[in-house]
Structure 1
Amino acid sequence: MALTLPPPRSALADERDNARVRWYEHELGWATEGAAPVRLPTGLRFDVLEVPVAAGYAALRRVGRTGPVTLAGRTMGLLVAAGSADELPGLLDWLEWGGVDLALTALGTGGRIVAPAPPGWCPGSPGAAVWLRPPELRHEGRVQFPALAGLGSRGGDAPDLVRLVDAVATECHRFRLMRARKGRQAMGLSTGQSTVQPLACS
């Protein structure tokens, strides 16, 4: 069996990756890893809450101000303060979402996300990671992330992690219920069963 080698990368692609690394490391002061694709380690400057796109958009409409937000295929990533991934289970319990099946995951120490194309760049292939809300340098030349008071929040300067998590959990649960309802309706139609309940007769 012949071994098939991947096509060689062009010098232009290498330079594009190098420029992406420079933007993250020099402009934002964030660490990067690897190339093609360049990745951002989580747990250093930020953690990431990953949610389905539909639930993420609905949550963003509710909370308004957030930290940076990425979009990759069907997943939205909300960047939050480093350490938030460890706090998430307890926070969900406190918000009375503990034990509820939510399509909400958190990446903390040891995790990685694909580095989106910097703002204004062509994202490349369809579904490639992009910035929906790009990082903005604020106080002391740093990006502000949603945080708990004990995780570096500066009062009104940073979006509130509690409000963000509650909104995201609510929308994840709402969209899960909607999918389940549509699934039941589709099953009823496919088996020829009526979804209309008969009236009770006395």
Structure 2
Amino acid sequence: MLDHAVRYAEERHWDVFPGTWLEAAGTTEQCSCGDSDCEAPGAHPARSDWANQATGSASGARRLWGKQPRASVLMPTGRTFDVLELPESAGFLALARLERMDLPLGPVTLTPDRRMSFFVLPGGAAKAPALVRDLGWAPSALDLVSRGQGHYIAAPPTRVGARGAVQWVRRPTAENRWLPDTDELISPLAYACGRDAAATRAARRA
């Protein structure tokens, strides 16, 4: 985990901070927080002041993970990037549409809970609800979550209990170093979420 944390800080200048980790508990694993009902075992902040703990320095990352090498890699949003999160089914539909339209794309992650996060420029999360309304959608009608200031995401290859690990759908590369703005992605993402919601409703009626 140290190598990944250092790489994110050194190569992308992303802030990182260590979260909880998984510990052996008989034949299973449990979160280091000690809560047997933990909602995100091994993948949430270990301290309440996590925002102050985050660092964009490679040496700072080495120091933090040197204390607990198994700690998950978490990244605060609202600093060097925001994310737009949606269900996996809608995410792959949006991804295909974005690629066909040759629109700019940044890195994209997929969690074991089947949620996709599209990286956008910081400040994009705050704009998303108004942009969705401008497209004719009620933000509450779409499963499209904006994460900016005060939020965080788990970075690959962080494991979330027995569910699996966070993965890259689109890895950070030199080509996607410059992140798109929310304005550039919101229409395909909202369209995909709307299609996904309609398909879910139709399946329930069937």
> Aligned to 2:80, which of 45, 60, 67?
45
SS at match of 1:96: coil
> How far 1:59 sits from its partner (Å)?
0.5
> How far 1:137 sits from its partner (Å)?
3.0
Q: Does the 8 Å CA contact 1:42/1:109 hold for their aligned counterparts? A: yes
Which segment drifts farther, 162-171 or 39-48? Answer: 162-171
Alpha-carbon RMSD: 2.3
Q: In the alignment, does 2:175 pair up with 1:135?
A: no
SS at match of 1:58: helix
> Aligned to 2:10, which of 23, 26, 44?
26
> Aligned to 2:116, which of 76, 86, 90?
76
Q: Percent of pairs identical after alignment?
A: 35
Name structure 2 gaps, 5 residues minimum.
20-70
Q: Which residue of 2 aligns with 1:95?
A: 135
Q: Distance in 1 between matches of 2:154 and 2:109?
A: 10
Q: Which residue of 2 aligns with 1:178?
A: 199
Q: Distance in 2 between matches of 1:81 and 1:108?
A: 10
Normalised TM-score (structure 1): 0.68
Q: In the alignment, does 2:189 pair up with 1:168?
A: yes
Q: Does the 8 Å CA contact 1:102/1:173 hold for their aligned counterparts? A: yes
Q: Which amino acid aligns with 1:144?
A: W
Larger Cα Rg: Structure 1 or Structure 2?
1
> How far 1:163 sits from its partner (Å)?
4.3
> How far 1:124 sits from its partner (Å)?
10
Q: 1:55 to 1:67 in 2, by over 3 A?
A: same
Name structure 1 gaps, 5 residues minimum.
1-16, 148-160, 186-202
> How far 1:49 sits from its partner (Å)?
0.5
Q: Which amino acid aligns with 2:164?
A: G
SS at match of 1:137: coil
Normalised TM-score (structure 2): 0.67
Q: Which residue of 1 aligns with 2:32?
A: none
Q: Which amino acid aligns with 2:133?
A: D
In the alignment of these two chains, the number of paired residues is 150
Deviation readout 1:47-76 (Å, 9 max, x if unpaired): 000100000000111011411100112100
Q: Which residue of 2 aligns with 1:113?
A: 153
Q: Distance in 1 between matches of 2:120 and 2:197?
A: 23
Deviation readout 1:117-156 (Å, 9 max, x if unpaired): 39xxx99965311111011235xxx821111xxxxxxxxx
> Aligned to 2:95, which of 39, 57, 60?
60
